[in-house]
Structure 1
Amino acid sequence: MDIQWYPGHMVKTKKMIKQHIKLVDVVLELVDARAPLSTHLPDIDSLVGSKDVITVLNKADLADKGVTESWIKFFKEQGFQAVAVDALRKSGFKRLFSLIESAKKKTILAPKRCMIIGIPNVGKSSLINQMARRKSAKTGDKPGVTRSKMWLKVSDRLELLDTPGILWPKFDDKAVGIKLALLGSIKEELLDLQQLAVILIKYLSIYYPDRLKLRYDVDASIPPMKVLEKIAQSRGFLQSGGTYDIERSVKTLLNEFRQGKLGPLSLEKPEEKEGFWAGISNQDIV
């Protein structure tokens, strides 16, 4: 499964970021705490120049807590400022505001200005709404909700600039594209959802087998298609003629994973060079 998605508005977004970067003091790069490296923009340095960058691991409530702590330590060892937050429950915001406050002021404007960037569906608008304590930015669980820049005043001392989600022209690592698809950052119309669900089941059966058992009452050792059949059977997903509605099982599994209903779990660990994702990058495991 080779996934690529780079619509035209993302090119415009990159140009807009470069045009407005001189107006801000600090950049908040949102990544998904379940896959911080795969959701990190590889060309961020060319976009923000010398501006201070704070890496915000959003959706921390959906990620494996121990793995997230390892990521925070990893980023700090690499010289990056990083903080894990849960935008829905407002966890980690005290630390986030502290990092923003300590960032160097590089504009002559009175309030400190932050630009928020990240890939689609990583939770930028939800973060802004919590920081501003209001419901202003549009939110959604599909990529492409925010399509233009938007300034928002948080206080007399802080303003935020929201930007549309951006990706990069080509995923050199096949596993990165698959992880982004699993997290909902790629348009579903471009995906083979059944293949995606099979990959997720294989991953869970290795690293989080108990989650499949707890949620769907299935043995993680059985083949992925059998897992999907068991989900259809237990949920009553039947087509005319009594056959299992596998498509509905697929969508249920992916949606419940994205919503955290399988419990907190992570898709990658720091400096993980071997294992499942290395295999998927080098061969078709589906």
Structure 2
Amino acid sequence: MAQSKLNIQWFPGHMTKAKREMQSKLSLVDMVIELRDARIPNASKNPLIDEIIQQKPRLIVLTKIDKAQSDMTKQWMKALENETTKVIGLNVLKDNCSKIITQAVMELMKEKRDRQIRKGMNPRAVRCMVCGIPNVGKSTLINRIASKKVLETGNRPGVTKNTRWVKVNKEIELLDTPGVLWPKFDDEEIGVLLAVTGAIRDQVLPLEEIAYFALKFMKEHFPRQLIEVYGIELVDNNYKQFLEIGRKKGFLIKGNEVDYNRTIETFLKDIRDNRFGPITWEIYHEMCE
């Protein structure tokens, strides 16, 4: 990774509004469903959400589990769970989202609902606020739970701009909220990890530095995948490594030069498209040291 300090900040105006809206609607919900990216379970945790939801019961859903290492996901799930927080992993596109989420919500709210029944009350549907960082799969998950397209989706950050209610079934109702990133990344690496996995628009990023970080990580932890996918030999110099990748892929421009920018963009796209197989970018035991 380049030695210069990265300054990755992305806090569009609608996110400030989103935080206020979420705080104002907190009294309307029974619990919170927080989506995080299973590849970066810590970096995709938004400190603003802790401040917003306070002590509400929370279901953490680790999405994109098909793109993360299953053994690492299990370690993170165990570590993140506590008395008021339940954690599950989900492949939003393939799993039975409605059944899995409804069951998890009912388990988390069981004591409260049992108390209501003992008092002679008929518990209404559990109202859940759905939140998380951009591009983590909130709208896709809600559409899958509701078994119909009720929200716009897109493989890019910032699709949802406003809060809205979605009635799923007789047991749960969901309040969708826009993806929120915090105003300042206290840890430089958090911003880089969010960038690598696509939570921040590429247009505002120093892509070369992001790619250097990802390449260094993969050389250290996933060298075989790099060699197999690109048919290259690994070298220490990142610049030369990308030149070799570009040549192997035929990304050439005038004068037989490598199209360096295209090579970097393709490398990051290959990561996000899972071409290298499952990768967890936050290794649990290393973060505990």
What TM-score results when the alignment is normalised by the length of structure 1? 0.89
| Aligned pairs (5 A) from 1:32-71 | 32-71=37-76
Per the alignment, residue 195 of structure 2 pairs with 181
Structure 2 CA distance for aligned equivalents of residues 218 and 114 of structure 1: 48
1:258 lines up with 2:272 in the alignment: yes
Structure 2 CA distance for aligned equivalents of residues 266 and 91 of structure 1: 23
1:125 lines up with 2:125 in the alignment: no
C-alpha contact (below 8 Å) 2:102/2:171 kept by paired residues = no
Per the alignment, residue 280 of structure 1 pairs with none
- Range that drifts further, 99-108 or 54-63: 99-108
| Aligned pairs (5 A) from 1:237-252 | 237-252=251-266
Task: Report the CA distance between 1:213 and its aligned residue.
Answer: 1.1
1:231 lines up with 2:236 in the alignment: no
1:272 lines up with 2:286 in the alignment: yes
| Aligned pairs (5 A) from 1:67-106 | 67-76=72-81, 80-90=85-95, 94-104=99-109
Task: Report the CA distance between 1:77 and its aligned residue.
Answer: 5.9
| Aligned pairs (5 A) from 1:112-261 | 112-261=126-275
Percent identity for Structure 1 against Structure 2: 36
C-alpha contact (below 8 Å) 2:97/2:141 kept by paired residues = no
Task: Report the CA distance between 1:60 and its aligned residue.
Answer: 0.4
1:19 lines up with 2:33 in the alignment: no
Corresponding residue SS for 1:272: helix
Give runs of ≥4 in structure 1 deviating > 6 Å.
106-109
C-alpha contact (below 8 Å) 2:29/2:129 kept by paired residues = yes
Structure 1 CA distance for aligned equivalents of residues 125 and 138 of structure 2: 20
Structure 2 CA distance for aligned equivalents of residues 167 and 59 of structure 1: 19
Q: Which runs of 5+ in 1 are unaligned?
A: 276-286
C-alpha contact (below 8 Å) 1:90/1:130 kept by paired residues = no
C-alpha contact (below 8 Å) 2:86/2:108 kept by paired residues = no
Structure 1 CA distance for aligned equivalents of residues 101 and 81 of structure 2: 14
Distance change >3 Å, CA 263–CA 93, structure 1 → 2: farther
Distance change >3 Å, CA 210–CA 93, structure 1 → 2: farther
Structure 1 CA distance for aligned equivalents of residues 164 and 277 of structure 2: 33
Task: Report the CA distance between 1:214 and its aligned residue.
Answer: 1.6
Structure 2 CA distance for aligned equivalents of residues 161 and 68 of structure 1: 26
Structure 2 CA distance for aligned equivalents of residues 24 and 50 of structure 1: 12
Distance change >3 Å, CA 274–CA 245, structure 1 → 2: farther
CA RMSD of aligned residues (A): 2.2
- Range that drifts further, 51-60 or 99-108: 99-108
Corresponding residue SS for 2:254: coil
C-alpha contact (below 8 Å) 1:31/1:57 kept by paired residues = yes
Structure 2 CA distance for aligned equivalents of residues 211 and 78 of structure 1: 39
Structure 2 CA distance for aligned equivalents of residues 186 and 78 of structure 1: 32
Task: Report the CA distance between 1:193 and its aligned residue.
Answer: 0.7
Structure 2 CA distance for aligned equivalents of residues 141 and 173 of structure 1: 25
**Counterpart residue type for residue 90 of structure 1:** D
Deviations 1:48-86 (A, max 9, x none): 133211111000000011111110111136863100101
Task: Report the CA distance between 1:2 and its aligned residue.
Answer: 2.0
Number of positions where the alignment pairs a residue of Structure 1 with one of Structure 2: 275
Structure 2 CA distance for aligned equivalents of residues 57 and 253 of structure 1: 24
Deviations 1:175-206 (A, max 9, x none): 00000111111122221111111111000000
Task: Report the CA distance between 1:44 and its aligned residue.
Answer: 2.4
Task: Report the CA distance between 1:212 and its aligned residue.
Answer: 0.5
Per the alignment, residue 278 of structure 1 pairs with none
Task: Report the CA distance between 1:227 and its aligned residue.
Answer: 2.5
Corresponding residue SS for 1:27: strand
Deviations 1:225-245 (A, max 9, x none): 222222211221111221100
